[in-house]
Amino acid sequence: MEIIISETKQILGLKAAKAGGELIREAILKRGAANIIVATGASQFEMLNELVKEDIDWSVVTAYHLDEYIGISDTHPASFRKYLKERFVDIVSPKEFIYVNGNDDPYQECLRLGNLIYKHPIDIAFVGIGENGHLAFNDPPADFDTKEAYLIVTLDEECRHQQMGEGWFPTFSDVPEKAISMSIKQIMKSGNIICCVPDLRKAEAVKKTVEDNISPLAPASILRQHEAISLYLDVDSASLLS
């Protein structure tokens, strides 16, 4: 695991976007196309703001959505489809963006997404880490073993409090209890992983990810087993590292 610590979250986002842009260009140069995963949440604001400025032929890029709540529309303020459409898709117009639809039958949606991603091996995954150490919406204890590409998951209380705390929902009871999430194994299949984790509130999760035993109780710790993972931190999120 390569760890890059920046003075501010803005510098973190710029560095991560430039590294990601270079990897996307390399994939296009090699195969004529690229397949990526795009995450959401407050941790991705700065990176996405810079990634859309990169000189990339987006017309040959297929992008996959990482996770979505079950039961909220794509116009809901907390919808990750809405988030990605406004901050990424409408700006760069990729060849295809494959959304997770939380309004359809979730079991059929997981099958649909799994069949699609099987055809498009992922070159670069842009991800974050939750306050509870989750990777995508794989809360602890995460399933490290399932071979399914997408899962129906139950969000734990810490995860739901984070979503409320970031301002996506007015009250805790408004936060959905279930979501569709890309699985741990599917994320780990990515050729490269760029993980952006700013802010002091993530410091404990970062410490567990980097320094604790690799365990489903610290889901993001599995990233240490990936051969091409870059963890981008700011001084706040890195503040508890030994």
Q: What is the pLDDT of residue 196?
A: 98
For the segment 178-236, what is each residue's pLDDT rounded down to a tens digit? 999 999 999 999 999 999 999 999 999 999 999 999 999 999 999 999 999 999 999 99
170-to-41, 108, 127, 165, 173 alpha-carbon distances in Å? 16, 30, 25, 9, 9
Q: What is the pLDDT of residue 104?
A: 85
Q: What is the pLDDT of residue 238?
A: 98
Q: What is the pLDDT of residue 41?
A: 86
For the segment 118-175, what is each residue's pLDDT rounded down to a tens digit? 988 999 999 999 999 999 999 999 999 999 999 999 998 988 888 888 888 899 999 8
Residues 6 or more apart whose Cβ sits within 8 Å of residue 15? 4, 6, 232
For the segment 70-98, what is each residue's pLDDT rounded down to a tens digit? 999 999 998 999 999 999 999 999 999 99
Look up the pTM and report it: 0.94
Q: What is the pLDDT of residue 167?
A: 83
Q: How confident is the model at residue 35 (pLDDT cuts 50, 70, 90)?
A: very high
Q: What is the pLDDT of residue 172?
A: 92
For the segment 41-57, what is each residue's pLDDT rounded down to a tens digit? 889 999 999 999 999 99
3-state secondary structure of 201: helix
Check: CB of residue 168 under 8 Å from CB of residue 77: yes
Q: Which domains does the chain have, with CATH numbers?
A: 2-234 (3.40.50.1360)
Residues 6 or more apart whose Cβ sits within 8 Å of residue 32? 60
